[in-house]
Amino acid sequence: MADSAAYRRVLLKLSGEALMGDKSFGLDGDVLGAIADELKDVCSLGVELSIVIGGGNIIRGVAASRRGIDRVTGDHMGMLGTVINALALQDALEKRNVTTRVQTAIEIREVAEQFIRRRAIRHLEKKRVVIFAAGTGNPFFTTDSAAALRASEVKAEVLLKATSVAGIYDADPRQEPNAKRLREVTYQQVLERNLKFMDAAAISLCRENHIPIVLFDMTSPGNIFRVMCGENVGSVVRD
């Protein structure tokens, strides 16, 4: 395994579901600890690490709206779920002596900083891990869009999307056993072929700002570290 970073500054997108392990809801302490261990190893490489975290393990705005909750209200509930996850990850990292800041797109000054781009960049320059919570702060936008937005704002060299599948496929591998993994695709191919691993707004924003996307399986131990070192893990989207 390589022991040097392939990137100087990265944005890692973590789904909320990744934090619940085999549970049907909430947080799995063992999974949270394992992720924090890997992120500590990543920080030891000198990487300037920022993270956008989802809230699907707690609530999703779209799902809430199907249960009769107003969509905007549901999305705001989902934003608060991401703050819970961000604080949990911050706690796990700081227990491992990794200096961390949580910034939110909605003001909750008692528990986290409000997102300020220049302050976020300064934290990164000081090698503090910055966890971005509350999505973009706006309803109707996914945390994938938030990841693409924050990656663009902090001038990340790459957006790493951690998932439960090995990469991008030409069909859903959970439904099509013969689905073929695509090692490298262009932004245009993703949009034309409607490869649904990330929403179109996020793809377009990364394309506009020339930010490659690496999608990989984070359930395999060590994969986060391997991706940071530039190993051929997962699938890459670029021009």
Query: 214-228, pLDDT tens digit by residue?
Result: 999 998 999 999 999
Domain tally for the chain? 1
Residue 1 belongs to a domain:
no
* DSSP label of 15: -
Residue 3 belongs to a domain:
no
The three-state (H, E, C) secondary structure of 108-177, written as one string: CCCCCEECCHHHHHHHHHCCCEEEEECCCCCCCCCHHHHHHHHHHHCCCCEEEEEECCCCEECCCCCCCC
Strand ranges for 58-111 from DSSP E: 100-104
Query: 32-87, pLDDT tens digit by residue?
Result: 999 999 999 999 999 999 999 999 999 877 777 778 899 999 999 999 999 999 99
Residue 4 belongs to a domain:
no
Residue 170 belongs to a domain:
yes
Query: 181-200, pLDDT tens digit by residue?
Result: 999 999 999 988 888 889 99
53-62, 85-94, 117-126, 134-143 — which is least confidently predicted? 53-62
Give residue 136's identity as a one-letter amino acid code. Answer: T
Per-residue pLDDT averaged across 2-27, rounded? 89
Cβ atoms 58, 85 nearer than 8 A:
yes
Residue 178 belongs to a domain:
yes
CA distances from 121 to 11, 113, 131, 143 (A): 12, 13, 12, 20
Residue 22 belongs to a domain:
yes
Residue 205 has pLDDT above 70, yes or no: yes
Domain that holds residue 217: 9-238
CATH value at residue 35: 3.40.1160.10
pTM exceeds 0.85: yes
In the chain, what is the straight-line distance between the N-terminal and C-terminal CA atoms, in Å?
Answer: 28
Share of the chain above pLDDT 70, in %: 99
Rounded to the nearest 10 degrees, what angle do helices 200-208 and 143-153 cross at?
A: 10
